[in-house]
Amino acid sequence: MRILVTGGHGFVGSHVVACLLERGHRVRCLTRRPAPPAFPGSTAVEWVAGDLRARLGLGAALRGCAGVVHLAGLTRSLTPRQMHETNARGTARLLAAARDAGLAGRFVLCSSLAAVGPAPDGRPLTEAAPARPLGWYGESKRAAERVVLARPWPFPVAVLRPPAVYGERDRDFLTLFRAVAQGLALLPGDPADRMSLVHAADLARAFACAVEGDLEAPGPFFVAHPRVVTLAEVLAAAEAAVGRRARRLRVPHGALGLLGRLVDLGSQVSGRASLLGSQRLREVGARHWVCTPGRFERLTGWRAAVDLEEGFRRTAAWYRAQGLLAG
């Protein structure tokens, strides 16, 4: 079937597109870019010009599609309004366009563990946990979830909540790998702090399962590797992938707050939001970002196949192949 993917030019989106193509689907991607990006399978994609924020091209992008995987969104912004406008209102515009286009298949939203927040006691969260997002990103993703789930649409819907995602073509974990390669690793918190992760290839299969399958409920569903890891284990896996042991330097939470405020000042001057702003560092400073994928596994049969050590080896190899990591 033909599936529309928004955000198909991004890190997760490129993996979702490749996975859908491998499973025999035709893929159409909405893009604001003048030229389509290059990644495995990108030449087989039908690229349609459009913009969620301006409501441009949505009807043409949806025409003839039997499913939607909505990945497009902001992960950083200068104001909460910018974040909400793209992540929540953009989702509402796409849903309305899908309704008007007569979409018959499933509409799948990529939300985030950030929509719920960290686990107060370190035990993996289930979908029954109350939503307590910490910042603009989580709040905007929670708002997008409500848009999808709070009303009956004339087509089935599903919401997936991944935790931190890593893998080939990711740039957010590159900072960690480079620091380890240089022999120094900053620990933003306690080495025993716990986190859930998912490799992008596993997450892509989850989206394919959701858009193809006959789910009994719309979710939201946590989608993660079932193994919860500590910050120390993440660092050890990065060291093994890079082939070097790094000196650990623990950064107190108070220092993270100060750094975030300084970065915010720079962002206001430059007009460009930074990954290391106070919003992001507030989330980094929370102790436990953990969830369990059990419900999604039971309903779909999906299982994460890439563990942390293998996934980090593959990620480091890609960084090296791209000239982003020495060695």
- Average pLDDT over every residue of 155-163: 97
Contact at 8 Å (CB) between 81 and 121? no
- Average pLDDT over every residue of 271-295: 73
Confidence of residue 149 (pLDDT cuts 50, 70, 90): very high
pLDDT, tens digit (0-9, with 9 covering 90-100), for 218-227? 999 999 999 9
Domain residue ranges in the chain: 2-171+197-227+290-306
Give the per-residue pLDDT at 264.
Answer: 45
The whole-angstrom separation of Cα 48 and Cα 36 is 10
Contact at 8 Å (CB) between 164 and 196? yes
Give the per-residue pLDDT at 164.
Answer: 95
Tokens 């950064």 locate to: 251
Contact at 8 Å (CB) between 89 and 255? no
pTM assigned to the model: 0.91
Which is higher by pLDDT, 134 or 38?
A: 134
Confidence of residue 280 (pLDDT cuts 50, 70, 90): low
pLDDT, tens digit (0-9, with 9 covering 90-100), for 172-210? 899 899 999 999 887 777 889 999 999 999 999 999 999
* Tokens linked to 305: 């196949």
Give the per-residue pLDDT at 20.
Answer: 97
Which is higher by pLDDT, 301 or 134?
A: 301
pLDDT greater than 60 at residue 78: yes
pLDDT greater than 50 at residue 267: no
Give the per-residue pLDDT at 148.
Answer: 97
**How confident is the prediction for the chain on average, in pLDDT?**
89
**pLDDT > 70 fraction of the chain, expressed in percent and rounded:** 87
Tell me the residue ranges of DSSP E strands in 8-143.
Answer: 26-31, 46-49, 67-70, 107-110
Q: Which of 96, 106, 91, 97 is nearest to 143 (CA)?
A: 91
CATH topology of domain 2-171+197-227+290-306: Rossmann fold (3.40.50)
Q: Which of 231, 211, 202 is nearest to 293 (CA)?
A: 202
pLDDT greater than 70 at residue 22: yes
pLDDT greater than 70 at residue 279: no
- Average pLDDT over every residue of 67-76: 92
